[in-house]
Amino acid sequence: MNYEEQVLALVREGNPIPDLATLTVDTAENTVYLATLTQRSSEMTQLDTKKVAPSEPRRRLVPILVIAAAAIILGLAIVFITGNEEAPIVTEPTPTTVTDATPTTFAEVAPTTQPAPTTVVNAWDQIADFGEAGSQGEYRTGDFFSVPFTVNLPDGWTRLAPETATEVSLTPKYDECFTPDQGRTDNYVDCTLMVWFSTSSTPAEDVITAAMTTEGVNVTDPVVTSIGGVEATFVDASLASDQQAVINWGDDIYPLFPGSTLRLIAVGLPQSTVVISIEDFTNGASLGEAQPVIDSIAWKEAD
């Protein structure tokens, strides 16, 4: 038996579940699980039905909205005509009744069709969970995270892992992980990007120094930037070989794996350093996707 046959035979022997026949699965738990899914399906069907057939109040609302829309169009048309009354092609004086009607119609419609813009900042736990489609919006970490901030998320972004006092995380378009026909074949993970925010007592410059002095890692020159109006420094790091390496900045670490690029941003806030670790599984091609999110960060006072 040659070496290859030997090692494969040993690996085969090391199979944690060598035989499915010996595997027992808790059928009671499965039944509960299936029932839960069936219940969810039923609820989703009800929601779909509601979408197709509007409820009675909504039906009554439709003609009102049609009339309102017609009034708006009429009002705008009148405004347009009135606004052009001095144009060379208009030779006859504008009828009095029309000019009288214009402000009245406009004033009546304006409050309902042009509401004052309001900024809604959503709580962090309103970000969709990992595995669900997130909604675009502005979100604020609660006081659970010791350095609160707000961030604007595009559609699709979700929370990646449970939040802790020192760490929150985000990822875009989770469903990409499960697209069977996705073109990328060499990545172990099809997800493109993960963004971690963690607090650290290590000074920002020491975090960057730790990255730059980690053996086996290629690191770009530090770039000074601004995150939420606060000075920050970032480097891009990737493995120099297939050997795993760990960037360790004292009270926290970030492991690097083959095929990933890590953008490490250290923000020197007065109360704490915030380390933003953006891990890109597409050799840097997806880093730009995180940029608008990072650019939207605004640091907040704790409530």
Partner 1 sequence: MSPSQETRFKSLYQEYQKHVYAYCRRRVSADVVDDVVADVFLSVWRRIGDVPEGDDALPWLYRVAFGVSSNHWRGSSRRRRLEAKLESIGVPSGLSIPDQIIVREEVRDAVQLLHRLGNADQEIIKLSVWEELSHRDISIVLGIEENAVRQRLHRAKKRLTREYEKAQRRTSATPAAQKGGER
Chain contacts with partner 1 (rule: CB under 8 A): 3-4, 6-8, 10-17, 20, 23, 25, 29-30, 33-34, 37-38, 41, 44-45, 130-131, 160-161, 164, 167, 169, 171, 177-178, 180-182, 185-186, 188-191, 194, 196, 242, 244, 246, 248, 252-255, 257-258
Residue 48, token pair as written in the block: 């779909």
Contacts of 77 (CB under 8 A, 6+ apart): none
| CA atoms of 140 and 300, how far apart (whole Å) | 9
Long-range contacts, stretch 217-225, CB < 8 angstroms, 24+ apart: 217/245, 217/247, 217/256, 225/265
Rounded CA separation 137/128 (Å) = 11
